Amino acid sequence: MNTNDINAVKALLSTPKHIVIVCHKNPDGDAIGSTLGLYHYLKKYHHNLQVITPNDYPEFLKWVPGEDTIYKYDVQTEISDKTINAADIIFTLDFNAFHRTGQMQAILETTKATKILIDHHQEPDDYATYTYSDVSMSSTCEMIYHFINMLSDTDKIDTNIATCLYLGIMTDTGSFRFAATTSTTHRIVAELIEKGAKNSEIHNNVYDTNSYNRLQLLGCALTNLKIIPELKTAYITLTQNELRKFDYKKGDTEGVVNYALSLDNVIFAAIFIEDRQEGIIKISLRSKGSFSVNEFSRAHFSGGGHNNAAGGRSETSLPATIEKFLSILPQYKDALHHE
């Protein structure tokens, strides 16, 4: 964000406003951490605040401070619409295009509120009055820290803010190991711990609350894992029946694709998950090095994200989707081979 924008945002926030903070559909740790981190920060200026998520999020995020105040748009549509229509300012966090909010797209497109985008995904749409986009950032939570810093307010970071921001940085960096984790990320995280984030507790809340069924589902996913050694690619499939068998709950498949990427000599990994309710195959793509899954997903699976982590979808059956995937892959033989 340039100095002019920061000064304008500072002026805008200097008197109490009606502010709505939104994130993408199927919120992850970074989405919940950044919206609630910003929420706790803006509270200090006595704004009228509401976080609205498009839909529900996994149980392992249902401890985050302030989480119980969130409206879920798909079940609290009327009050959410009212709140959005009354908003002076809408912060849109951790996504780059309105369609990423699912059912909320329509109202976000029509509202007259001033929009402030803070996000680290590639190629953000140009809808916001103020755009803070940086694709080199580890997480939107790291950007919220920088945003607070640009407003000269890091001394206002308390335990709640620190906890929320730590959460999102931890989850989006795969616990500080992905390439976007920089020395600055570590300095920020150190400061967040000093300000009260209980690192071990947060990690435990998110990662050590598995159900037996979830581990069995992971076992099933690993059994379904296939490797294409000549293309340094591995992929996993999960059918709706398999999900049902292990009593699938939201969030149960999060991170599973990383097992495929952890294989020696694999630099491109995918998971295909059948979603009969939405009538689609949900796809998560991960890579190592310069092979861009953002471009791959944009080109073939109506999605996008980052260079090394992206999502996508397919509207055909699971077998047809796999067939398409396998038929496309050879086009990338050189890119996949030169890693």
Find the shortest distance in angstroms from Cβ 105 to ligand 5GP. 13
Stretch of 54-62, 212-220, 239-247, 300-308 lying at the interface with ligand 5GP (CB under 6 A):
300-308
Report the run of H or E that residue 13 belongs to, with start and end. none
* Residue 29's binding partner out of Mn ion, ligand 5GP, none, with CB under 5 to 8 Å set by partner kind: none
Candidate list 113, 272, 304, 322; residue touching ligand 5GP; CB under 6 A: 304
How far is 111 from 107, CA to CA, in rounded Å? 6
* Residue 84's binding partner out of Mn ion, ligand 5GP, none, with CB under 5 to 8 Å set by partner kind: none
Cβ-proximal residues to 308 (8 Å cutoff; 6+ apart), any chain: 178, 179, 286, 287, 288, 293
What is the phi/psi pair of residue 71, to 5°?
-90, 135
How far is 172 from 220, CA to CA, in rounded Å? 25
Candidate list 17, 47, 115, 121; residue touching ligand 5GP; CB under 6 A: 121
Does the footprint of ligand 5GP cover residue 92 (CB under 6 A)?
A: no
Residues of this chain that interact with Mn ion (CB under 5 A) are 30, 94, 140, 172
Given the complex with Mn ion, which of 172 and 274 has the nearer CB atom? Answer: 172
Site string for ligand 5GP, 100-119 (x = CB under 6 A): x-------------------
In eight-state DSSP terms, residue 129 is S
Q: How far is the CA of 276 from the CAs of 157, 315, 328, in angstroms? A: 43, 10, 24
Given the complex with Mn ion, which of 61 and 217 has the nearer CB atom? Answer: 61
Find the shortest distance in angstroms from Cβ 335 to ligand 5GP. 19
Residues linked to residue 268 through DSSP beta bridges, in sequence order: 233, 287
Find the shortest distance in angstroms from Cβ 103 to ligand 5GP. 15
Find the shortest distance in angstroms from Cβ 306 to ligand 5GP. 6
Q: What is the DSSP string of 163-228?
A: HHHHHHHHHHTTTTTSTT--HHHHHHHHHHHHTT--HHHHHHHHHS---HHHHHHHHHHHHT-EEE
Stretch of 35-43, 64-72, 149-157, 306-314 lying at the interface with ligand 5GP (CB under 6 A):
306-314
- How many C-beta neighbours within 10 Å does residue 230 have? 11
How far is 263 from 234, CA to CA, in rounded Å? 8
Q: How far is the CA of 307 from the CAs of 99, 168, 310, 325, in angstroms? A: 20, 19, 7, 18
Does the footprint of ligand 5GP cover residue 305 (CB under 6 A)?
A: yes
Written as six digits, the tokens of 122 are 């590639």
Candidate list 137, 170, 192, 310; residue touching ligand 5GP; CB under 6 A: 310
Given the complex with Mn ion, which of 99 and 324 has the nearer CB atom? Answer: 99
Does the footprint of ligand 5GP cover residue 311 (CB under 6 A)?
A: yes
Give the residues lining the site for ligand 5GP (CB under 6 A). Answer: 24, 96, 100, 121, 284, 303-306, 309-312
